Amino acid sequence: MVKPEKLFSSLAKKKLTFYSGVPCSIFKDLIICLNQNSKVQHIRATSEGEAIGLAAGYYLATKKIPIVYMQNSGFGNAVNPLTSLADREVYSLPMLLFISWRGEPGVKDEPQHKKMGRIMLALLDVLEIPYLILNPNRIEKQIDSLVKKAKEEQRPVALIFKEGQIAKLEGSAGVEETGFTREEALSVMLSKIGRGIVVSTTGKTSREIFEIRKNRRQGHEQDFLMVGSMGCALSTGLAIKLNTPKKVFVIDGDGAVLMKMGTLTTVGSYAPKKFIHIVIDNGAYESTGGQCTSSTVVDWKKLFQSAGYRDVIAVNNKSKLRKINFAKLRSPAAIVVKVISGSRKDLGRPTTTPTQNRDAFMAFVK
């Protein structure tokens, strides 16, 4: 395995000190170490495409090689700037991509990772991005080889990291917070929503919704769980609402909203009735290890109002959440629920397949 501290020390010696990206659980300890390193420049991006843009700007300003880290499920978000900005047929901008390999063939993983895991290497070949799969015993030579190719050929290159190749940092478990949790908020909201349509963001939000329904012995047909496609819950929910008279509730996360923030203006432009957008803000990418989002700089009320939402309410405890009268909100409406980061250690995963969820949901909507 690769120790994060030694990796950063080695990269610093090669004058690789700029990092940007979107977290993955495979990179959890690497990012912890990165955040503790004051000698590097680390810009947290809201999307992988944004990170490529940041890397491009860094190279243009310094002529030094930047590093962009990402989960392979988000690699698709980076394809456009990789092909239309950094590619050798355009500006020919060198950069080193650290890409995690979720859904590696033969390794058990969640449904949303299977396709990208299977096609990732072929996709890199199609994009003509040279890559190496990490060999922990040869990492120094591999990085030297990739950096040399990036410089000489003026192009993006990639190093692929498999699950378990990065060693855990001692004492990196973190401190458990106490306070109003996302699961408590979801429990209150699902009771208030009744039989309305629910579209929930990827990650632990959808997992908690599934378990709440299961524990209450309720069906799952009214919930569309976004098992992947981070940031797309809002656009999916909007199109559903524009094609059904039923009330639609989109339950989102702060990181997901920030990743596709432009969708807020699409909602405002079409101003759907009976449409409530709930954002649970825990300030973290919790499913990938609790890395910080940029939500602390967001004035949610002004943001939603400027995008055309009519009513915006912010709450930070169970009592205030219970008092909200959903029926009186003017749509499109937004509810921002501030919670602590964290979830139960025994939190399960949906036991139905995505297609089973799809079929039951479509029957409910109809």
Q: Tell me, what's the pLDDT at 173?
A: 55
Question: 22: closest CA among 111, 98, 113, 118?
Answer: 98
Instruction: Please give the Cα distance from 217 to 235 (Å, whole number).
Output: 29
pLDDT at 152: 98
Answer whether the bond into residue 245 is a cis peptide, omega within 30°: no
In angstroms, the CA 229 to CA 175 distance is 29
The pLDDT value given to residue 136 = 94
Task: Give the pLDDT confidence score for residue 279 in this predicted structure.
Answer: 98
Per run of 10 residues, the mean pLDDT along the chain (length 366 residues) is 89 94 93 88 96 98 98 96 98 98 94 95 98 96 97 98 91 64 96 95 94 96 94 98 97 96 98 98 87 93 98 95 95 97 89 95 96
> Contact 339/274 with Cβ under 8 angstroms?
no
For residue 57, which amino acid is it?
G
pLDDT at residue 72, as a whole number: 97
